Amino acid sequence: MSETIFSQIINREIDADIVFEDDRCLAFRDVNPQAPLHVLVIPKKPIDMLVHADDTDAELLGHLMLVARRVARDEGYGEAFRLVVNNGEAAGQTVFHIHLHVLGGRAFQWPPG
Ligand code: AMP
pLDDT, position 2: 74
Cα 92 to Cα 37, 46, 49: the distances in Å are 19, 19, 12
Cα 11 to Cα 14, 22, 25, 49: the distances in Å are 8, 14, 12, 19
- Per residue in 44-90, pLDDT (tens digit) is 999 999 999 999 999 999 999 999 999 999 999 999 999 999 999 99
Choose which residue among 12, 30, 101 to substitute to test ligand 1 binding: the one with the highest number of ligand atoms within 8 A of its C-beta.
Answer: 30
pLDDT, position 34: 98
pLDDT, position 68: 98
Q: Is 109 in the pocket of ligand 1 (CB under 6 A)?
A: no
Is 99 annotated as catalytic? yes
The domains of the chain, with CATH numbers, are: 5-104 (3.30.428.10)
| pTM higher than 0.95 | yes
pLDDT, position 40: 99
Q: Is 95 in the pocket of ligand 1 (CB under 6 A)?
A: yes
pLDDT, position 3: 87
- Per residue in 30-49, pLDDT (tens digit) is 999 999 999 999 999 999 99
- Per residue in 3-25, pLDDT (tens digit) is 899 999 999 999 999 999 999 99
Q: How far is the CA of 30 from the centre of ligand 1 (A)?
A: 6
